[in-house]
Amino acid sequence: MLEETALSFSALPVHRSLGEGGSRESIEENKMDGRVRPDHDTKKNESRLIRVVDAIAEATRQEMERDERVFVFGLDVDDHKSIQGSTAGLLEQFGPDRCFGTPLSEDAMTGVAIGAAMAGYRPIHVHIRMDFMMLAMNQLVNMAAKSHYMYGGQVNVPLVIRTMVGRSWGQGAQHSQALHAMFMHVPGLKVVAPSNAHDAKGCLAAAIRDDGPVIYMEHRLLCNMEAYVPSEAYETPLGQARVLHEGKDVTIVGVSHMVIESLRAAKYLEKAGISAEVIDPISLRPLDMESIARSVKKTGRLLIVDNGWLMCGTGAEIMARLIEALPNGLNGKAIPMARMGFADTPCPTTKPLENLFYPNGKTIAQRAFTLIHPAGKIDLPEDHDIKEVDEFKGPF
């Protein structure tokens, strides 16, 4: 069994809370128990260990308190299970005018969200599954993304689209797709995929305050994962990656839940004498290539592990931009690089096939190992406990 200390996000800096017009200041962390702790443990901004869904709910509540133009709506947001708890308490606190359910009509409701944003509100529209955002592609790609440009900057569309992706209890081909690469392709859209509670809260606050449309991607297996999160409001800057685990032999860039698996892989590699640097891009558009290139210049190797298919995916974009930035490689030699992601087939339903379809800590560790030892094979344990797969109970 792999020690879960890799999932504690000890590399996360904690930011001072941000009021309106406030400045961001990194705070030196105390890694007492491998968890993030601020050095200013005050009652005013206490840092607590909470789940991703709790962080999302807290960010939503704080932004709704801060700005009366913010409201949340979507299928089942007012349900008693409150989208895994991510909208818990909002109906009771703000009433049905600012937290309400909608018909199962993705295209029309996305149009409502865009219209409200153009009229000056700041809606948070919850699409329970990213798969069904395909029914609203015209609204998102041709209306939300382009209105600011087409009206010469006179119109803003401050809209957040929350959407769930990922495996769980047999979601299958039409209910577990991660289609972020499609939206990364479109100028005018921003795409974020936080991997932990700290960034889930900060990213959502930043997305709500942004004056353009933001696709906020949530992996269902991250819902119950915990990290230390400040109690006051703050922003995680869009377009800034984070180094979660420092290393010198290979850079691993993970996307969404693949950050967790990459951290597990780093533990396997450490036992094999390999030091892996794990980067969470957090924001996929804008993409912080400077941080990735800086890491690759140090380690000399790159492995990108996407939470999606490889064809025209995030890994292809990162790899292409790195080659453009370093056309001659490093020290006159080509940079060893590789990509991992979904198998080239629709998402399967059964758990045994899911285990083959998605990368995991062991397969990531083996691929990273071969970047250093092309003919080698890393010694890995037979079991690979992905506890969040068994813990996720749905219904979404």
DSSP 304-349: EE-SS-STT-HHHHHHHHHHHH-TT-BTTBPPPEEEE-S-SSPPPS
Residues 96 and 78: beta-carbon distance below 8 Å: yes
Active site residue 175: yes
Classify 304 in phi/psi space as left (phi over 0), alpha (psi -120 to 50) or beta: beta
Least confident window among 18-32, 64-78, 128-142: 18-32
97-125 average pLDDT score: 95
Q: Annotated catalytic residue: which of 29, 58, 63, 106?
A: 106
Angle at 363 between CA 329 and CA 226, to 5 degrees: 100
Residues 71 and 124: beta-carbon distance below 8 Å: yes
What whole-number distance in Å separates Cα of residue 122 and Cα of residue 208? 7
Q: Over 80: is that where the pLDDT of 289 sits?
A: yes
CB atoms closer than 10 angstroms to residue 338: 16
Q: Note the pTM of the prediction, 2 decimals.
A: 0.87
- Please name each of the domains of the chain with its CATH number: 8-230 (3.40.50.970), 242-391 (3.40.50.920)
**Cβ neighbours of residue 110 under 8 Å, at least 6 residues apart?**
125, 136, 139, 140, 144, 161
Give the pLDDT confidence score for residue 380 in this predicted structure: 87
pLDDT band of 80, cuts 50, 70, 90: confident
Strands 70-74, 26-27: pairing is unpaired
Q: Annotated catalytic residue: which of 15, 125, 127, 175?
A: 175
Give the pLDDT confidence score for residue 8 in this predicted structure: 46
CB atoms closer than 10 angstroms to residue 358: 25
pLDDT, tens digit, 9 for 90 and up, residues 336-354: 999 999 999 999 888 889 8
* C-alpha torsion sign, points 191, 197, 202, 207: positive
pLDDT band of 388, cuts 50, 70, 90: confident
What whole-number distance in Å separates Cα of residue 72 and Cα of residue 100? 7
Q: Over 60: is that where the pLDDT of 268 sits?
A: yes
pLDDT, tens digit, 9 for 90 and up, residues 171-203: 778 888 899 999 999 999 999 999 999 999 999
The pLDDT > 90 percentage for the chain reads 70
Active site residue 106: yes
